[in-house]
Amino acid sequence: MKTIVVPTDLSPDTEIALSVAVDIASVSGVTAITLLHVVAYPLPMPVYAYVPATTVPTSSILAEYREIEQEAESALKRFANQTAYAGVTITPALITNGEGLVTNLTKYSADLIVMTSEGASGWDEFLFGSNAEEVVRYAHCPVLIVKQRIPHFQPENIVYAVDVDAHLKTVQHYPFRMGEGGLHQFLHVMSPSDNRNPEVVREWVSDFALGNGITNYDLIMRSAKSVPEGIICYADNVKADLIVLFTHGHKGIRHLLSGSVAEDVLNHATMPVLVMRA
């Protein structure tokens, strides 16, 4: 792994994601962390109700934009130049192209994206989702979502949420070390609509473990009203410090109809969630 990208809205929560990225970089030989902020410009308002807003910015609008950019640039530098991060190179990146966060993130050849999220629930989750959801849906690399400050990110009690999918049987390359003992705690949650034979799940995990050189593991199978609920409940019970799962990144009508287990988990889990691309 060479590059970690940390998107930020310049809020104090930036410290949560940045400190985790620095911890990962320190033990993974990462050569660069990019602290990325995409400027959101205020739209010019029309003078009269029936006169369209001008598409040519006035001098006052341009001055306001420059001030926004300067303030954002100063904030990025304050975050990046803290003495606590002295051993790692953090490069501030201010994006002023007027495009959204997700569009700009997909242009970066990142090996890992680390970000914070407050999650979403109720109507907000159904209608809009969270920023992390959208990033996970479109990112070309693994995304690590962190919910709260972690003194030192070094996950050991890791829950790997198993989806019995042929695409996932291949050897997986994780963006950072999965604990001293590696992955060994596999969880399969069966919802009321899951009619798979448990032996099929056991066989899949056995094949996966063999292909990834895992010789000692536990397979836990649980029933729950929904798969995300079962994953979060189990992770809470065992006090996991990381959940690992995969997403197919469905978009459009397919995503609307089927949803995403990964997105539901990252919205409601309290511990970090690493979402890998299937």
Domain ranges of the chain: 3-143, 155-272
Q: Are strands 158-161 and 242-247 parallel, antiparallel or unpaired?
A: parallel
Is the separation of the CB atoms in 95 and 37 below 8 Å?
yes
Q: Does the pLDDT value for residue 57 go beyond 80? A: no
- Residue 127 clears pLDDT 60, i.e. is over it: no
- Tell me what pLDDT residue 256 has: 36
Nearest-angstrom CA–CA distance, 117 and 145: 7
- Say whether pLDDT at 258 is over 60: no
Q: At what angle do helices 227-237 and 261-268 cross, to 10 degrees?
A: 40
| Average pLDDT value for the chain | 84
* Contact (CB, 8 A) for 243 and 264: no
pLDDT at residue 80, rounded to an integer = 93
- What's the confidence (pLDDT) of residue 121? 42
Burial 145-174 (b: 16+ CB within 10 A, else e): bbbeebeebebeebbbbbbeeeeeeeebee
Note whether 3-143 and 155-272 share their fold: yes
Q: Which residue has the tokens 């495009």?
A: 99
Section 178-204 average pLDDT:
89
Half-sphere exposure of 165 (CA within 13 A, CB side): 11
CATH of region 155-272: 3.40.50.620
pLDDT mean over 180-193 = 89
Domain at 3-143, CATH homologous superfamily: HUPs (3.40.50.620)
C-alpha closest to that of 278 among 144, 161, 115, 168: 168
Summarised one tens digit per residue, pLDDT across range 128-163 is 346 788 888 888 899 999 999 999 999 999 999 998
Q: Identify the top-confidence range among 173-187, 228-242, 257-271.
A: 228-242
pTM for the predicted model, two decimal places = 0.86
